[in-house]
Structure 1
């Protein structure tokens, strides 16, 4: 996969965002980067951290994915609420209380030990050493997405919802999570930067490229069939993000199918 970071557009956008964060923020702060899978959230977060650290700002990045619950915890959710919750991904499968506590700790000037998650093992890994930060960047696939109106939950968006969530219990649980603790977390992420992918097909292709890299690095990962199934729970909220985030995001970075970008401050 071509390294899109080398493009002039990417470097220009990176410089614009770095300057904007420095000029607009009062530290300590917690910033959000939202975007569909494969859109480059973790890459942008890491690049921003590098740029800000060069300016003497104590910055770090964490992914919403790093807060995923363990297999055992998700299995318990699957048994208590709905079988689909055994898979990591949707709101309700994170330790959102810890995410909120970490963000509040940064904002209060306390040390924070950021979590890590091993996707190849599908289990939490050891946390990073505790540190006090001026700026924490949080990146995640559904950051900022609000609970949907009840009417929008009625119709399934794909075969997974149609076949495995016939009564809508899974959709309702996820929606309740968005309306509750996740909404509280989103409020702590100021500003919210949105990486706007062009369409769902691109998202699936980009995620497949990520999985290929995981296989190369770890010799572990999902087969194409497993990945296709894995993506289905993400579709509803990814589609919702295209409806909601144009109004909610503070800054938008639009991507084409080749990761070429255009930055606009909302």
Structure 2
């Protein structure tokens, strides 16, 4: 068991209570930081004595066809060229699944195949979804932007104007309406965050680590599925996430949940823990 898993496991066990069932645990962190591995390890350990369900925000991405239609509807917005940004998920599906888990109703857990369509991805057929036929004790819900809060129109414009003025390479290269679309869509995601009881935020002091982490994840995907994105596509793909990291990562401090923040080094070792 890694130190990260040990820390998070101890935190979750401290939150378990007969009055809160299921316990909804959010795991937020940038691409490639190890969220999926962490959730899998936690599931293996906790399932020895409890009923555990893992759902990723990735699992409720739009279908490949729906993503193509979205990109076609906004051809000048580079943030919508690929899956990933707020607006590229099926929020209605996510709410339905989480509500069923909360109510102890039988439900199928959607799954997403990132290797499909040369790494562009597609939702798996419903017959491949996991069927949960009984109430659960803990729901582990993980995703790269879990807990991000939308900004006010004035704050968004202020940050964008400052980025333009300083030639910021992350926000300054975008038009305001590109960021505005993302910000508007993010407001719908707060309904998903409303299910969470606690949030674990895995983060880093250097956002550029995300490029290395994502490349490692894509290399593993190639070995497993013989399909995925090229190095150049990974660079472009991660570039699209950087505006959201810069705008919304600080808003995790504003979420009305109990938060455990864990800061990682480039080699994913725990540097610091903040509660």
TM bucket, shorter chain: 0.7 to 0.9
Count how many residue pairs are aligned between Structure 1 and Structure 2: 255
Counterpart of 1:36 in structure 2 is 30
Closer, same or farther: CA 251–60 of 1 in aligned 2, 3 Å = same
Post-superposition shift, 1:184? Answer: 1.4
Partner of 1:10: 4
Per-residue CA distance 1:207-251 (angstroms, 9 max, x = gap)? 111011111111111111111111111001222344222453611
Moved over 4 A (4+): none
| Residue 238 (str. 1) matches residue 227 (str. 2) | no
**CA–CA separation in structure 2 for the residues paired with 1:99 and 1:259:** 29
Distance 1:72 1:128 in 2: 22
**Unpaired segments ≥5 residues, structure 2:** none
| Counterpart pick for 2:181 among 173, 187, 194 | 173
Give the TM-score, by structure 1 length. Answer: 0.87
Aligned partner of 1:97 among 81, 87, 92: 92
Q: What's the CA shift for 1:144?
A: 0.5
Query: Could you tell me how far 1:194 is from its partner in structure 2?
Result: 0.5
Alignment-derived partner of residue 234 in structure 2: 227
Contact persistence 2:170–2:242 (CA under 8 A) = no
Determine if contact 2:5/2:41 at 8 Å carries over to the other structure.
no
Is residue 68 from structure 1 mapped to residue 75 from structure 2 by the alignment? no
Equivalent positions of 1:146-157 (< 5 A) are 146-148=149-151, 149-150=155-156, 151-154=158-161, 155=163
Q: CA deviation at 1:21?
A: 3.4
Q: What is the DSSP-based 3-state SS (H/G/I as helix, E as strand, rest coil) of the residue aligned with 1:129? A: strand
User: By how many angstroms is 1:158 displaced?
Assistant: 3.3
CA deviation string 1:119-177 (max 9, x = no partner): 01011113222333222111000001111232224436536862xx43x2221111001
Give the stretch that moved more between structures: 70-79 or 125-134.
125-134
Aligned residues: CA RMSD? 2.3
SS of 2:108's equivalent in the other structure is coil
The residue that corresponds to 1:145 in the other structure is: 148
Q: Between 203-212 and 103-112, report the one with greater CA deviation.
A: 103-112
- 1:3 is matched with none
Q: Determine if contact 1:153/1:172 at 8 Å carries over to the other structure.
A: no
Please say if residues 264 and 272 of structure 2, whose CA atoms lie closer than 8 Å, have aligned partners that are also in contact.
no
Q: Matched residues in 1 for 2:170 and 2:199: separation?
A: 32
Question: Equivalent residue for 1:124?
Answer: 123
Contact 1:118 / 1:124 at 8 angstroms: preserved in 2? yes
TM-score (norm 2): 0.84
Where does residue 139 of structure 2 map in the other structure?
Answer: 136
Q: For residues 136 and 171 of structure 1, do their structure 2 counterparts lie closer, same or farther at Cα, with a shift above 3 Å needed?
A: same
SS at match of 1:89: coil
> Which one has a larger percent helix, Structure 1 or Structure 2?
1
CA shift for structure 1 position 263: 6.4
Question: Does the Cα contact within 8 Å between 1:196 and 1:252 map onto a contact in 2?
Answer: yes
Corresponding position of 1:45: 39
Distance in structure 2 (CA, Å) of the matches to 1:197 and 1:103: 28
Alpha-carbon distance in structure 1 between the residues aligned to 2:5 and 2:84: 30
| Cα distance in 2, alignment partners of residues 143 and 253 from structure 1 | 15
